[in-house]
Chain A
């Protein structure tokens, strides 16, 4: 019987359970004697706590602070650095920083008590914007210059290029904060279990959680057992942030010795959880007399907020994507992550790449407009090709199928006819953007830091259990891994089980981030499955395990940032057509088309759903997700009535296609895709609107009132 291609859609393993309301998420779980927790947070952006005044606490209610960390424990949440504190002690760095946890049995009493807690501060002058952070307003609070990191990458000799240029194009593009709005808010629960602790968390990385919080009680990792609960969306917002819930809960559970649940309400998630880094990207682009691009001098600054968390890694990715899908002959890219007294910025789908990709795409559109040429004609001249040098003097190893993808998008969208028909400023416009995403961890992260493993268990009942630390958060990983294992073993998909990971039982496969899971962990699983297949009849019940093998030939120097920052890329093209209402300046999107190279789809329906979702989230980023920051009070739009995400009526159905381009080191040829699909739609939308109103746009988001100001 001919084997059907792996991409043939299968019914997702979790679909019926979720659709019928049977699937339990963290807030649906109850434990005997469970208590509730509410977070007490800083109400000011910067200052010293001078007094915490509590109302009298009834029996069974406790206020937990840094003072409850036992001797030998450290008041730290270990993320990538150790700079994040579990609790504030004397000083506070941002509105929303954790001061304590109020714990008790009745949620109504907790709210009454919360309202009566009063905290006094000696306030200091906060730095909130990128400019204020760089200027060290109020005095630097990180190092001497408020910089968490500052590094530069080079390709060629940009200074000579700039000196000899016929024309230098300067530009500045900015992007704002974005909130994840995973429909399930942040949630965690910690309970004692004998002499260990069990953490239930709506989280992407169970192993990250235990690594982060074990030191609070000075315990070995194995004493903190982390169980991921079915996660209602994450998008990077639950990569490190669960530590911020689990840490205080662990300290509390150690004192109170009962299960304690903490679930944020939507306003807490909006006001007091991590966001996408706002960015400012400045260009000096050198052109010759014929309008050829000779080089780009790029300055990238990200607003990192009060703690570093993963900002260095986010910035790296932003910097390594700063010249997009183009082979720019010479470049220099400087990246800085600046500390400000705002809620720490953190992982969010794309992880730094969306900001710089948006910037370079939009910048090139401005150049095209100034030269009087179509952006497509300008951009396609510089498409990277197999073997070309990258911005870090590495190489592109795969065949770059942008030309085939472009054909698909041009055909589907009618781009060329519409460009001819819709004059600039006519109120109608079509835009197009090009983007990529380096798969998996940057540089040598996979082989030097993560060293992922995957484990399989063949059971006596004939089922095979997948034991990896990777998590399903909606992206379809449970289904994808089920397929890879079933396909490799030649057994039915219904015989493969993949429970939510429990750190006590599964191999550490690394975090579920960086679009690495299918490509890296899926490949390791394939290896473990191949071994299991060979040994199938050996025993009724046995385990196989495999680990990451780094392909040879990808030099990388983490000190000079030279070499192959990524060993493979996903590629994307998106076209968006809009019409601007002449009376209200509301933008109506008339069409969305895309093509992607993700190697080979593991499941076409899962891939289709991810493309749709990533594109809509990216369009929201550009069109409507305004998040203002009040210097004293923090984020302004914190609920779903004022933080505006797209509804079913805001954008039309999409035309989506793929170009198959199998990747030799991915399972069945697959590459990563989860973030790629976010990286381009925002620039295509802005390109379209720009053409429709004949104005360069330099910042997103652009709700109608902002467009009006631009057009005035």
Chain B
């Protein structure tokens, strides 16, 4: 069975006809060709599938399309086109945050979500802010420092 679902994706109004139980993650990757959102655990534990839904960070592997009607979704592809997203990505690149990269789009989303509510976070705030994003390569320290760098460079953006 299918439903027509309209929502805003990276600033554009879009529509899709699909099973309302189809996962938002699969719609983004398979129907809209947006590969930046990754599947790494399928159960909401790792954060690699994170996007912003109405400005709130969510894990798309557990979201049925039926609950996306009328929402605003921003993926890494949308975020990277903004000044805030660019600031975070550049800080990650300069700060040594990226190793294998698989967790990183999710981390960038988490960084945006954190800075949007707390533009000048402490180390503890940052660690809490990314605690839903698992990374196996970096041990987190340089990701934390890169977010701090983004906050410093991006004064006025958040």
**Once the chains are docked, how many angstroms separate the CA of A233 from the CA of B38?**
14
Confirm or deny: B7 has a beta carbon within 8 angstroms of a beta carbon on chain A: no
**Once the chains are docked, how many angstroms separate the CA of A453 from the CA of B56?**
51
Closest to B44 in A: A641
Q: Is there an interface contact between B76 and A654, defined as CB atoms closer than 8 Å?
A: no
- Kindly identify, within residues 102 to 141 of chain B, every residue whose CB is under 8 Å from any CB belonging to chain A: 102-105, 108, 123, 126-128, 130-141
**Once the chains are docked, how many angstroms separate the CA of A474 from the CA of B137?**
7
* Interface segment out of the listed A24-32, A501-509, A523-531: A24-32
Closest to B26 in A: A107
Confirm or deny: B8 has a beta carbon within 8 angstroms of a beta carbon on chain A: no
Q: Is there an interface contact between A613 and B75, defined as CB atoms closer than 8 Å?
A: no
Indicate with 1 or 0, residue by residue over A413-435, a CB within 8 angstroms of chain B CB atoms. 00000000000000000000000
Q: Is there an interface contact between B42 and A18, defined as CB atoms closer than 8 Å?
A: no
Contact of A21 among B46, B80, B133, B143 (CB under 8 A): B80
**Once the chains are docked, how many angstroms separate the CA of A651 from the CA of B127?**
10
With A615-B139, A640-B134 in contact, do A11 and B102 touch (Cβ < 8 Å)? no
Closest to B146 in A: A19
- How far is the CB of B24 from the nearest CB of chain A, in Å? 16
Confirm or deny: A444 has a beta carbon within 8 angstroms of a beta carbon on chain B: no
Confirm or deny: B94 has a beta carbon within 8 angstroms of a beta carbon on chain A: yes
Contacts of A22 in B (CB 8 A): 36, 80
Indicate with 1 or 0, residue by residue over B19-47, a CB within 8 angstroms of chain A CB atoms. 00000000001000011111111110110
**Once the chains are docked, how many angstroms separate the CA of A616 from the CA of B136?**
8
Contacts of B58 in A (CB 8 A): none
Q: Is there an interface contact between B42 and A266, defined as CB atoms closer than 8 Å?
A: yes
**Once the chains are docked, how many angstroms separate the CA of A618 from the CA of B86?**
33
Contacts of B140 in A (CB 8 A): 612, 616, 646-648, 651
**Most central of A24, A612, A645 by chain B CB within 10 Å:** A612
Contacts of A20 in B (CB 8 A): 36, 76, 80, 85, 89, 105, 108
With A233-B136, A649-B128, A649-B131 in contact, do A18 and B40 touch (Cβ < 8 Å)? no
Q: Is there an interface contact between A653 and B144, defined as CB atoms closer than 8 Å?
A: yes
Confirm or deny: B48 has a beta carbon within 8 angstroms of a beta carbon on chain A: yes
Contact of B108 among A19, A181, A653 (CB under 8 A): A19
With A16-B93, A648-B130 in contact, do A265 and B42 touch (Cβ < 8 Å)? yes
**Once the chains are docked, how many angstroms separate the CA of A648 from the CA of B132?**
8
Q: Is there an interface contact between B123 and A653, defined as CB atoms closer than 8 Å?
A: yes
Contacts of A613 in B (CB 8 A): 99, 136-139
- How far is the CB of B48 from the nearest CB of chain A, in Å? 6
**Once the chains are docked, how many angstroms separate the CA of A232 from the CA of B135?**
11
Indicate with 1 or 0, residue by residue over A1-30, a CB within 8 angstroms of chain B CB atoms. 000000001011011111111111101100
**Once the chains are docked, how many angstroms separate the CA of A445 from the CA of B108?**
42
Q: Is there an interface contact between B128 and A19, defined as CB atoms closer than 8 Å?
A: no
Confirm or deny: B70 has a beta carbon within 8 angstroms of a beta carbon on chain A: no
**Once the chains are docked, how many angstroms separate the CA of A474 from the CA of B96?**
11
Closest to A184 in B: B102
- How far is the CB of B51 from the nearest CB of chain A, in Å? 11
Contacts of A183 in B (CB 8 A): 38, 40, 46, 48, 100, 102-103, 134-137
Q: Please give the number of chain A residues whose Cβ is less than 8 angstroms from any Cβ of chain B in the complex.
A: 59
Q: Is there an interface contact between B102 and A233, defined as CB atoms closer than 8 Å?
A: yes
**Most central of A12, A14, A185, A609 by chain B CB within 10 Å:** A609
Closest to B34 in A: A21
Contacts of B77 in A (CB 8 A): 21
**Once the chains are docked, how many angstroms separate the CA of A609 from the CA of B135?**
12
Confirm or deny: B97 has a beta carbon within 8 angstroms of a beta carbon on chain A: yes
- Kindly identify, within residues 179 to 238 of chain A, every residue whose CB is under 8 Å from any CB belonging to chain B: 180-185, 230-235
Q: Is there an interface contact between A18 and B144, defined as CB atoms closer than 8 Å?
A: no
**Most central of A11, A24, A231, A232 by chain B CB within 10 Å:** A232
Confirm or deny: B9 has a beta carbon within 8 angstroms of a beta carbon on chain A: no
Q: Is there an interface contact between B93 and A21, defined as CB atoms closer than 8 Å?
A: no
Closest to A235 in B: B136
Confirm or deny: B63 has a beta carbon within 8 angstroms of a beta carbon on chain A: no
Contacts of A331 in B (CB 8 A): none
Confirm or deny: A605 has a beta carbon within 8 angstroms of a beta carbon on chain B: yes
Closest to A619 in B: B139
Q: Is there an interface contact between A11 and B142, defined as CB atoms closer than 8 Å?
A: no
- How far is the CB of B23 from the nearest CB of chain A, in Å? 12
**Once the chains are docked, how many angstroms separate the CA of A606 from the CA of B95?**
10
**Once the chains are docked, how many angstroms separate the CA of A15 from the CA of B100?**
9
Q: Is there an interface contact between A647 and B89, defined as CB atoms closer than 8 Å?
A: no
- Kindly identify, within residues 675 to 698 of chain A, every residue whose CB is under 8 Å from any CB belonging to chain B: none
Q: Is there an interface contact between B100 and A233, defined as CB atoms closer than 8 Å?
A: yes
Confirm or deny: A154 has a beta carbon within 8 angstroms of a beta carbon on chain B: no
Contacts of A646 in B (CB 8 A): 139-140
- Kindly identify, within residues 630 to 666 of chain A, every residue whose CB is under 8 Å from any CB belonging to chain B: 639-641, 645-649, 651, 653-654
Closest to A616 in B: B139
With A605-B142, A608-B142, A639-B45 in contact, do A19 and B101 touch (Cβ < 8 Å)? yes
**Once the chains are docked, how many angstroms separate the CA of A27 from the CA of B88?**
25
Closest to B37 in A: A21
Closest to B19 in A: A108
Q: Is there an interface contact between A14 and B76, defined as CB atoms closer than 8 Å?
A: no
Contacts of A234 in B (CB 8 A): 100
- How far is the CB of B94 from the nearest CB of chain A, in Å? 6
Contacts of B40 in A (CB 8 A): 183-185, 232, 266, 640
- How far is the CB of B98 from the nearest CB of chain A, in Å? 4
- How far is the CB of B78 from the nearest CB of chain A, in Å? 10
**Once the chains are docked, how many angstroms separate the CA of A164 from the CA of B102?**
57
With A21-B77, A266-B41, A640-B46 in contact, do A182 and B136 touch (Cβ < 8 Å)? yes
Contacts of B34 in A (CB 8 A): 21
Contact of A617 among B130, B134, B139, B142 (CB under 8 A): B139
Q: Is there an interface contact between A12 and B141, defined as CB atoms closer than 8 Å?
A: no
With A181-B136, A266-B42, A617-B139 in contact, do A605 and B96 touch (Cβ < 8 Å)? yes
Contact of B99 among A16, A474, A649 (CB under 8 A): A474
Q: Is there an interface contact between B99 and A19, defined as CB atoms closer than 8 Å?
A: no
With A16-B89, A19-B105, A21-B105 in contact, do A649 and B97 touch (Cβ < 8 Å)? no
Contacts of B126 in A (CB 8 A): 648
**Once the chains are docked, how many angstroms separate the CA of A672 from the CA of B145?**
26
Q: Is there an interface contact between B102 and A232, defined as CB atoms closer than 8 Å?
A: yes
Q: Is there an interface contact between B136 and A9, defined as CB atoms closer than 8 Å?
A: no
Q: Is there an interface contact between B43 and A639, defined as CB atoms closer than 8 Å?
A: yes
Q: Is there an interface contact between B135 and A21, defined as CB atoms closer than 8 Å?
A: no
**Once the chains are docked, how many angstroms separate the CA of A23 from the CA of B105?**
10
- How far is the CB of B113 from the nearest CB of chain A, in Å? 14
Q: Is there an interface contact between A612 and B36, defined as CB atoms closer than 8 Å?
A: no
Binding site for B on A (CB under 8 A): 9, 11-12, 14-25, 27-28, 180-185, 230-235, 265-267, 473-476, 605-606, 608-617, 639-641, 645-649, 651, 653-654
17 A–B contacts from the bound complex (CB under 8 Å): A18-B98, A18-B100, A19-B92, A19-B108, A20-B85, A24-B35, A181-B134, A183-B48, A235-B136, A475-B99, A609-B99, A612-B142, A614-B139, A616-B140, A647-B131, A648-B128, A648-B130
User: Known pairs A12-B96, A609-B142. 10 more at Cβ < 8 A?
Assistant: A9-B96, A14-B98, A25-B102, A181-B134, A183-B135, A184-B40, A473-B100, A605-B95, A609-B137, A648-B130
